[in-house]
Structure 1
Amino acid sequence: MLATVVNLGGLAISAAATLLVSVILANGAGASAVGQFNQLAAVYIVASQLAAVGIHLAVLHFLPLTDIHERRRAALAALLAMLPAATLTGACVWLGAPLFERLLDSPGLAGGVRWVALATGLFAVNKLLLNLLNVFGHLIWLSLAQAVRPLIWLLTAWLLLTSSGVSQTGLGTMFVFGELGVLVFALTRIAAAFWTPVDGRLQPWATRLVRFGVRAFPSNAMTELNTRVDVLILGVFADDQVVGIYSFAALIAEGAFQIGVLLRTIINNRLVSAVVERNGAALGQLWRSTSRASWLLTAAAGLAAALATPFAIDLLKLDPSLHQGRWVLLVLLLGVTVGAGFAPFWNVLLLAGRPGMHSLLMLSLLACNILLNAVAVPVAGMTGAGIATALTFLVFPLLLQFACRRVLGLELRGSR
């Protein structure tokens, strides 16, 4: 019970702090700064998937089913196996900074991207550490560690703002400081897994984790890209201010979606057991309790956000142009809420040991998302991006249920 309460508190802190970053930027530098920050965030999040090469997903699949001594050995092997990919990805993002600036037509963006490149490798390592906290049952520390990042972003944004706004290079530094904070906090609790001597060779575990990760990381990369493809496509067709208006609304909707992500974290070990054993009864019981909670909490959060946002923009004296995103916000919240019951189960194929099929599922969703946004954004701008993204949230439950029946022989809602 305590872990659940703390996780809910951590989610609230994380969502509030992340939103407040956009509030501070919108108040001190306008909607354009919000757009620049979210374009950097899109590069940072997508690149981190390549840097992690799926190893953080492999530990979620294998480690809950092993004893404590094997977990320690696997944890150390996972960290060592990830470091080369994290370093290489960071170097590629650094070298590609001018390309991102030209593609998104945002002068000065390259300076921020170079700092994001430094943060990318750290982010990948932190993804592993946070999943290890989950596997080792340290859910309270996991929640607190996840809250550290946006709190540091919040503090850094406040310190960086000047009378002339904030540079894109300054925005990039926020990501580095955030990851350093998470790294120190997570290691405070999980370090014993790395410092304690382990018996046996690490190579078998490293090979096992990398093989699974390489098959799994495309699916997770596509999942993350799905959450950013609207911002990236909109950035190609619109200026920083329009991207900022849309991003502000999308961030609020994403905060509501994170309720399902939180529940996914809480049920992870039980979900692994149910799907690996093909236990339809256990899966159905987990579905009934978790999906109902996800839908009710997301609906309540969405309604509160829809009612409070217009008043908050005026009360906090934010850039008045943010009001232009009110219809986008409503559309996104509707899509997130309708699909909320399935949010905790997005990774069910992956946790069942079918990373290739999960990748195919995510590829189908990504293709749908890109197609819808590519058609809608040039015609209707940010409104089109909102409609396309909301439709994606409605399509995914249909794809997920079909995949579970065909691949696992299970119904998400219970035994066949």
Structure 2
Amino acid sequence: MAFSFSSEESGGNDQSVSDHSVSSSGIYWTVGAFALVSLAGIILNQLIASKLGVTSLGRYNSFLAVIIVGGQMGSAGIHGSVLYHTPKFRSESRPTGQVLVGALTATTVTSLLSTGLIVGIGEVLLRAAGNDYYLKGLHAIALGLFLYPLNKVLLSHINGLRRIRSFSVLFASRFVLLAFFAWGANRFFDGDQHLLWTITLTEVVMFLALLFTVRQELIRNPKWEALNENVRAHFRFGIRGLIGGMLLDLNTRVDILLLGVIAGSESVGIYSIGSLFAEGLYQLTMVPRYSYDPVVTHLIVEERHTELKDVVQEAKRKTYYLIIPIVAIANVCYPFVVGILFGEDLAMDSWKVFGILSIGLVLSAGYVPFTNLLQQAGKPTRQSALLGAITGVNIILNLALIPLFGMVGAALATAIAQVSLIFFLRGLARSVIGYRL
């Protein structure tokens, strides 16, 4: 069964190693977390748009995209290695602290290198262009850019331990902190320059909270003598999954990045309102993924393939049943809700963006929870091929359609790329799991 409807939850303490059910309480915690993420995202965007304008909103979201995409480069796929090896070590009754210590060591090196590269290149280009605003913005997010990959590793380890309560609270905290600090920057400072420092401040607080949460893992059987071996294992896995890891986050931001380059910050500001609400729906379909990722690894490592098939089929069915009516209701309510929050003009301009993106989500919803299936099966190269194919479709279509249709073109390109997940995942996974998804 895909869901075990019991009062026991999978957070707090690690679940029993032999228990591979996905508890209802674990799902409720992640649903609650993503509801909070969506609410915080709405508040954040509404605050910036209403107080500082759509252009400032576009700038903020552009720098946030740099953090996410650049931070993915800095993690070098190691967070994916953690999400695979942590449940694997649990199935093999090996101390999971070894996984975390090796991953943090490796990621510190890769994040330093990638942050230095991004900031260095940005410094040269922005000084040459005389763009003082973006240069100061780059300096503001530099520390956050370094910490983001470390935070991804720490979150992945908590997820791999199936501590769903802790994972849900900490995941939601990032977006709550972004909104809270943005409110503070707007309240106590003039203009939007200080706004970008709130991104770095959020990552600093997250890093401290995550370290506190996993403190026992760092001191309980870390096996420091095995550090070199663990670091090498993470690098090997990470390199094979690097492209996939980078593209997983890039694929959710490529429309905004290309729209900003081709059409400008104002278009990004309007588009980001529609995509914000569509992202909320997308995250709702992603909620089961955080419970299923470690379960997939456990079942594959233990060669329980029939049980895995049952889990996947039931999860797909439940996800489609959930998302179809929600998307229909959301499209009806969108102009009224967004009109209240952002004004009637922005609501109408962004409604078509939301509608197109939500159609792509409806069609692919059942497969979204298993986006990481190939990685969790220990096949990071295939995972990279999957996400490379999807992102390639996304980039090509965005470049082709944005010049013709502007924001609508970006939405169409992103929706089609989302649907392509179905075909690419089914093709690549069949030989790995022995049946067609």
Give the TM-score, by structure 1 length.
Answer: 0.92
The worse-fitting range, judged by mean Cα deviation, of 288-297 and 96-105 is 96-105
For the pair 1:236 / 2:282, whether they are aligned, the reply is no
Residues of 1 paired with 2:332 and 2:43: CA distance?
A: 17
Partner letter of residue 63 of structure 1? T
TM-aligned CA distance change 1:358 to 1:103, over 3 Å: farther
Structure 1: gaps spanning 5 or more residues? none
How far residue 406 of structure 1 moved from its aligned partner, in angstroms, is 4.1
**Equivalent residue for 2:150, pick from 122, 125, 132:** 125
Residues of 1 paired with 2:44 and 2:373: CA distance?
A: 32
TM-aligned CA distance change 1:126 to 1:276, over 3 Å: same
Cα pair 2:259 2:406 within 8 Å, conserved: yes
Cα pair 1:295 1:340 within 8 Å, conserved: yes
**Equivalent residue for 2:111, pick from 86, 91, 94:** 86
How far residue 6 of structure 1 moved from its aligned partner, in angstroms, is 1.8
Residues of 2 paired with 1:293 and 1:248: CA distance?
A: 28
Counterpart position of 1:334: 359
Aligned length: 411
Aligned 1:206-245 pairs, distance under 5 A: 206-245=231-270
Residues of 1 paired with 2:399 and 2:431: CA distance?
A: 30
How far residue 201 of structure 1 moved from its aligned partner, in angstroms, is 2.4
Residues of 2 paired with 1:255 and 1:401: CA distance?
A: 25
Residues of 2 paired with 1:62 and 1:164: CA distance?
A: 45
How far residue 384 of structure 1 moved from its aligned partner, in angstroms, is 0.3
How far residue 320 of structure 1 moved from its aligned partner, in angstroms, is 3.1
Cα pair 2:256 2:272 within 8 Å, conserved: yes
TM-aligned CA distance change 1:272 to 1:106, over 3 Å: farther
How far residue 339 of structure 1 moved from its aligned partner, in angstroms, is 0.6
Counterpart position of 1:140: 165
Residues of 2 paired with 1:246 and 1:99: CA distance?
A: 29
Counterpart position of 1:262: 287
Counterpart position of 2:338: 313
**Equivalent residue for 2:388, pick from 358, 363, 375:** 363
Residues of 1 paired with 2:255 and 2:129: CA distance?
A: 13
Residues of 2 paired with 1:316 and 1:374: CA distance?
A: 31
The worse-fitting range, judged by mean Cα deviation, of 351-360 and 182-191 is 182-191
The worse-fitting range, judged by mean Cα deviation, of 19-28 and 86-95 is 86-95
The worse-fitting range, judged by mean Cα deviation, of 11-20 and 67-76 is 67-76
Cα pair 1:28 1:165 within 8 Å, conserved: no
Residues of 1 paired with 2:355 and 2:126: CA distance?
A: 31
How far residue 387 of structure 1 moved from its aligned partner, in angstroms, is 0.6
Partner letter of residue 20 of structure 1? I
**CA displacement, residues 219-258 of structure 1 (integer Å, 9 cap, x when unaligned):** 1101211111111111111121111111111111111111
How far residue 292 of structure 1 moved from its aligned partner, in angstroms, is 2.2
Partner letter of residue 295 of structure 2? R
Cα pair 1:30 1:319 within 8 Å, conserved: no
Residues of 2 paired with 1:103 and 1:138: CA distance?
A: 48
Residues of 1 paired with 2:415 and 2:124: CA distance?
A: 29
Partner letter of residue 119 of structure 1? G
Counterpart position of 1:179: 203
For the pair 1:49 / 2:67, whether they are aligned, the reply is no
Structure 2: gaps spanning 5 or more residues? 1-23
Cα pair 2:186 2:195 within 8 Å, conserved: no
Cα pair 1:97 1:111 within 8 Å, conserved: no
TM-aligned CA distance change 1:183 to 1:281, over 3 Å: same
The worse-fitting range, judged by mean Cα deviation, of 291-300 and 117-126 is 291-300
Cα pair 2:293 2:372 within 8 Å, conserved: no
Give the TM-score, by structure 2 length.
Answer: 0.88
Cα pair 2:88 2:301 within 8 Å, conserved: no
SS at match of 1:161: helix
Residues of 1 paired with 2:96 and 2:230: CA distance?
A: 10
Cα pair 1:149 1:182 within 8 Å, conserved: yes
How far residue 2 of structure 1 moved from its aligned partner, in angstroms, is 2.9
How far residue 319 of structure 1 moved from its aligned partner, in angstroms, is 7.7
Residues of 2 paired with 1:23 and 1:281: CA distance?
A: 47
**Equivalent residue for 1:17, pick from 40, 49, 56:** 40
SS at match of 1:353: coil
SS at match of 1:257: helix
Counterpart position of 2:85: 62
SS at match of 1:411: coil
How far residue 260 of structure 1 moved from its aligned partner, in angstroms, is 2.4
Cα pair 1:35 1:247 within 8 Å, conserved: yes
**CA displacement, residues 182-241 of structure 1 (integer Å, 9 cap, x when unaligned):** 222222221111133534421111111111111112111012111111111111111211
How far residue 393 of structure 1 moved from its aligned partner, in angstroms, is 1.0
Counterpart position of 2:18: none
SS at match of 2:406: helix
How far residue 162 of structure 1 moved from its aligned partner, in angstroms, is 5.9
**CA displacement, residues 95-123 of structure 1 (integer Å, 9 cap, x when unaligned):** 23357769999872232222222111211
Aligned 1:139-178 pairs, distance under 5 A: 139-161=164-186, 166-167=191-192, 169-178=193-202
TM-aligned CA distance change 1:360 to 1:269, over 3 Å: same
**CA displacement, residues 320-378 of structure 1 (integer Å, 9 cap, x when unaligned):** 33431111110001111211100011111111111112212211111111111110001
**CA displacement, residues 158-194 of structure 1 (integer Å, 9 cap, x when unaligned):** 1222699742x32321211211222222222211111
Cα pair 1:148 1:181 within 8 Å, conserved: no
Partner letter of residue 54 of structure 1? G
Residues of 2 paired with 1:104 and 1:52: CA distance?
A: 29
Residues of 2 paired with 1:361 and 1:173: CA distance?
A: 35
- Aligned residues: CA RMSD: 2.4
**Equivalent residue for 1:5, pick from 28, 34, 51:** 28
Residues of 1 paired with 2:85 and 2:116: CA distance?
A: 30
How far residue 51 of structure 1 moved from its aligned partner, in angstroms, is 0.9
The worse-fitting range, judged by mean Cα deviation, of 60-69 and 183-192 is 60-69
Counterpart position of 2:318: 293
For the pair 1:188 / 2:212, whether they are aligned, the reply is yes
Cα pair 1:59 1:131 within 8 Å, conserved: yes
Counterpart position of 1:34: 57
